[in-house]
Chain A
Amino acid sequence: MPTVREEHRSRFGVLGIVIIVVLSALLVRLWTMQVLNGESFAAQAENNRVREISLEAPRGRILDRNGEPLVTNRSALAVSVDPSHDDVRALLVRTWTEDTADDPTSSEITEMFGEIADLLGTTPAEIYTQVTDVQQEALRPRVIAIDASMEAVAQILERQTDFPWALVEETAVREYPNGTLAAHLLGYTGVISQTQYEQSDEYAGYEPGDTVGKSGVERQYEGVLQGDKGWRRIEVNASGKSQGVVSEQAPRPGNDIRLTIDVEVQRVAEEQLELALAESHRQGYTSAKAAAAVVLDVQTGEVLASTSRPTYDPAAFLGGISTAEWEALTAKGSEYPLNDRVVMGAYPPASTFKVVTAISGLEAGITSENSTYNCTGRWTEMGKQWPKRCWKRTGHGTLSLRAGIKHSCDVVFYEIGYELYKRELEELQATSRLFGLGEKSGIDLPGEVSGRVPDAAWKKRYNENYPEYQMWLPGDTVNMSIGQGDMLTTPLQMALVYAGIANDGVVMKPHVLKDVLGSEGEVVRTIAPETLHDTGVSSEVLGVVERGLVDVTETGTAKGAFAGFGPTVAGKTGTAEVKGKDDYAWFCAYAPAEEPRYAVAVVVEQGGHGGSVAGPAARNILAQLLGEPIETVRATDVSR
């Protein structure tokens, strides 16, 4: 009888082949994976277990011209929510899929965040909004409170089982040692927006959720202040839990920067602006809520002070501003406190513009210092059907150009404007542009507007759909000659005009950055003075204007504001008419007139008259600069 082995030899052979084939297949597979591709898998394994966390660099400090800190850093306790925690994720999934979709008041949210919201003095809806902020990187903890009270922090730490998704960490935040001082100029910081992130240079290394400058100097010099991120590589297990630090690279802090601002001048400017607003109210101009003032060094273009009202507290933005606060800052009735009116406010310059008209007329040779004009309070040169009035209804009588500046007589400038119109050379516009009106000055601040110098081409374009309004009329030039009509300027631009007159016709480019400091405090970059426009206006012409301007503060419309003031000041009042609003008070000046150093422009929206409201503010700002006593001045002015 044959054995099993002999009878079924071939079948066992098949089985042996099956064994060899199976094991060989596995062997080949392992050879490819482990020997041929081992290194690539090894790299994957390394990535797998090592997570890189970026370390934000402390932002550079912002100092005034003398090194006084304006913005510094301090450490604060931040409470944040870990969006990757299972509880939070589950909540988000539920709230997104339920019908209650985006209702941040739903009971589940209240249940989850209610208690911690009470501890932190916020609302569950607010926390929910922060946690679901899609602008931040998905796994990054969402900061819900900076500077939480010690009791709140202690409670959260003690009761980790109640709030397993809450983290308490030390974090560096901006500190404002002077409170709201220069808030607009300095700007605030916040979480990088989607657009900012997408537009940022990839080498800048931004990540969603990073803190960046959002306005002012913080934004303008973001690249200098930001610094370089560091990183920490940590070993993690499969659930992402840290097993320890593998290696670390410390962040490189951003550079400190020194501004051209003088903190003392800035403080006075802000106080004076507040006082000007109060004075407006006292005089019955109760709608006065907004104002701006700027001070320039006429020889260098350095901004010594720049302030805007109403203001805001940049500290409110730390750790994310609450919805309510944001709404308050941007509401229609809020007067837009975030806007820096020095560069963003465009106003009719009114009589402060008359210097430009005078220069234009003098350069054209159609007027001179002692040309005489007759003001009867009513001016009908363009025809009886187009009468224009002087602000002084009774008329100034016979007066010279110089006296016209001193008394701010409208008729004198109507005459000059009309003459300029008849020459059809748009010389008034040209002179305006020579001094930088109608275009951005290029100051190193974000959001500057260009204002407007109206001319025939502009009018045609502006009234594209209204052919009957497209023609440039004599009244357009006449209105413009007293700084009304379609003329719009920023306070900074008017300060530049006066700085240009002061500086022998050379307008220097304004700037707020003085220099950038290195890690040892050494200067690594300085901003050199730069000419914005050399107007080429002759010294004789400028001299005529200056004498008129000095008259203004000594015996003219600003006599009251500058009573008893030591140095000679060349200044001009302005009272702008804005349709449907109270008059805007202006004052522009430079001093000392003999050897000009500083130019100042002050505007108070709906504040009344330049000589009584803006003038006293400008006087005290100059007083601070020139070492004069700061005095409370009550002046009257009825001019325009």
Chain B
Amino acid sequence: MNKTLGQRILDKVNVPLVLWVLALLVYGSIVVASATSEMAGGAGLLRRHILGAVVGLVPLALAWAFDYTRLRGWHGVLVTMGALLLISPRLPGIGYEAGGATSWIQLFGVRLFQPSEPAKLIFIVVAAAVIASFKGRIDSPREVGVVGAYVAGAVGLILLQPDLGTGLVFVAIAFVMLIVGGMKGRYFAIAAGLLVVATFVVLQFGLLADYQEDRLLVFVDPSRDPAGAGYNLAQSKIAIGSGGLAGKGLGSGTQSNLHFIPARHTDFIFSVLGEELGFIGAVTLLGLYLALLLTALAIATSSRDLFGALIAAGVLGMWLFQILENVGMTVGMMPITGIPLPFMSFGSSAMVTNLGAVGLLLSVWSRRYGA
């Protein structure tokens, strides 16, 4: 059966996915440009943002070209790589501390990247392989225990840094994958119960750094630290709320341009967007995300095997949780943790990782009919 060139391209490329990602990249660059325009070295920051996207094309292309089914055999290598990545910031001489967490690595004094970002993708692939081995039914405690052990291992290593937010991302990824993997409802209930207990234990026994505890508790009680974490939340809410329906216009956000918003080009980029582009701008972004996530869901359903579906679901879970957590924290619905907004936040590690994730989706898509 002969296919036209167009059909052959459509077999390999999920055009909607590419379109949505492209749109998000453009949208993100515009907002980052506005957020950094008044900052020292702002133009340089925008260039780095775009450079991150360009660099991200490399993992995207590699993951796309690579037959994802072969990754199942790489289990040992991937687990080792993932563990090494997560431990690396704690290795003497290469860790870089910022904001109370050592989640970056640096070599020769140059800050390189956040290893936990690419580790997310490795975790997705490994977890997909493990869950797929249960053939779509997770109904014995042993199976749940195996998956739980992987999740606990990854989260445990991340909490060494400690980077609570990223830890939560891993949990969310596993959660979404387990839905597709066929975990029984009662196990979800048990897991949720365990999570609550764990949270309580962590808070009760002071396992978190003070600032992390503050961030979490400020969510419950914003007056707890109005000058610190509470201040950030209050300022962010004022920025977004004051944006109104249509926003104050790009570059005209008084809250953000007068430096009321902390980390406004990274974790709080949505505050800038909400203030300057208003409800319309925010809905536009949520619309793009909805399209992106539904496209990822469609790719998952189109997969020729459960492994591919699980990979796609993992990527979907990663994005969904990061959107919920990041936007949610800027509007006071979620605790404040440092998680970037996919394709929007300034930051190369996350950008490269997200584009790598797009590559994984394309890999699953392009192989949906078999090799």
Residues of A within 8 A of B (CB): 3-5, 7-8, 11-12, 14-16, 18-20, 22-23, 25-27, 29-31, 33-35, 37-42, 44-46, 48-49, 235-239, 243
Contacts and interface: CB of A to CB of B under 8 A. Distances in A.
Interface string B227-250: 000000001011111111100000
B303 A4 contact: yes
A3 B301 CA distance: 9
Interface of B: 136, 176, 179-180, 182, 235, 237-245, 254-255, 258-260, 274-275, 278-279, 282-283, 286, 289-290, 293-294, 297, 300-306, 308-309, 313, 316, 320, 323-324, 327-328, 331, 333
A12 B242 contact: no
B297 A15 contact: yes
A-B pairs, 5 with minimum CB distance: A41-B241, A38-B244, A45-B242, A34-B279, A42-B242
Given A33-B331, A38-B241, A236-B258, 14 more contacts: A11-B180, A16-B297, A18-B176, A19-B293, A26-B324, A29-B331, A30-B282, A34-B240, A34-B241, A34-B278, A35-B245, A44-B238, A45-B241, A49-B255
B309 A45 contact: no
B134 to A, nearest CB: 13
A37 to B, nearest CB: 6
Contacts of B304: 3-4
A238 to B, nearest CB: 4
Contacts of A23: 286, 289-290, 293, 323
Contact of B320 (A22, A29, A243): A22
A33 B238 CA distance: 9
A46 B275 CA distance: 13
A202 to B, nearest CB: 27
A346 to B, nearest CB: 56
A238 B324 contact: no
A20 to B, nearest CB: 8
Contacts of B254: 45-46, 48-49
B255 A48 contact: yes
Nearest to A12: B301
A48 B257 CA distance: 12
B327 A26 contact: yes
B258 A235 contact: yes
B316 A15 contact: yes
B309 A8 contact: yes
B230 to A, nearest CB: 14
A441 B283 CA distance: 77
Given A15-B180, A19-B320, A243-B258, A26 B300 contact: no
B180 A8 contact: yes
B279 A4 contact: no
A98 to B, nearest CB: 23
Contacts of A22: 320, 323-324
Contacts of B180: 8, 11-12, 15
B290 A19 contact: yes
B294 A48 contact: no
Contacts of A5: 301-302
Nearest to B239: A45
Given A26-B333, A45-B239, A12 B258 contact: no
